[in-house]
Amino acid sequence: AQQLAESGGGSVQAGGSLRLSCAASDVAYRKYCMGWFRQVPGGKREGIAVIDTDGTTRYAESVEGRFTISKDSAQDTIYLQMNNLKPEDTAMYLCAIEFFTTPADFLVYGGKNAWGQGTQVTVSS
């Protein structure tokens, strides 16, 4: 079964940048969406960025223009470049993958096939 491994979280001051990575292994199918969710303790999980195997991307309004998702298809790896970070971006960031779905559906319902363990991002003011 596919597995996901995130890296790149950490602590940064407001206005700073971080880059997250998520590597998938044993991917069963070649058509998938892969992306990022975030969650704070007691809060709802929010889909923030997704990319599909054709390179189509979609973002939540809360991160549009500040975050960029990209991929290395050969390695089944995605990246999230986060710029101009704000304290409200503080959360656990989780990577997920889902086969045969659309970017829009993935952000709302996604991650049905596998999740990573998450990586913490903390932004101080």
pLDDT at 45: 94
The per-residue pLDDT for range 77-114, each reduced to its tens digit, is 999 999 999 999 999 999 999 999 999 999 998 888 89
- The band of 74, judged by pLDDT with boundaries at 50, 70 and 90, is confident
DSSP letter string over 59-108?
A: E-TTTTTTEEEEEEGGGTEEEEEE-S--GGG-EEEEEEEEES--HHHHHH
What average pLDDT does range 39-65 have in this prediction?
96
Using CA atoms, how far apart are residues 25 and 77, in angstroms rounded to an integer? 9
To 5 degrees, how large is the angle CA 46–CA 47–CA 50? 165
The per-residue pLDDT for range 13-33, each reduced to its tens digit, is 999 999 999 999 999 899 999
Residue partners of 61: CB distance under 8 A and separation at least 6: none
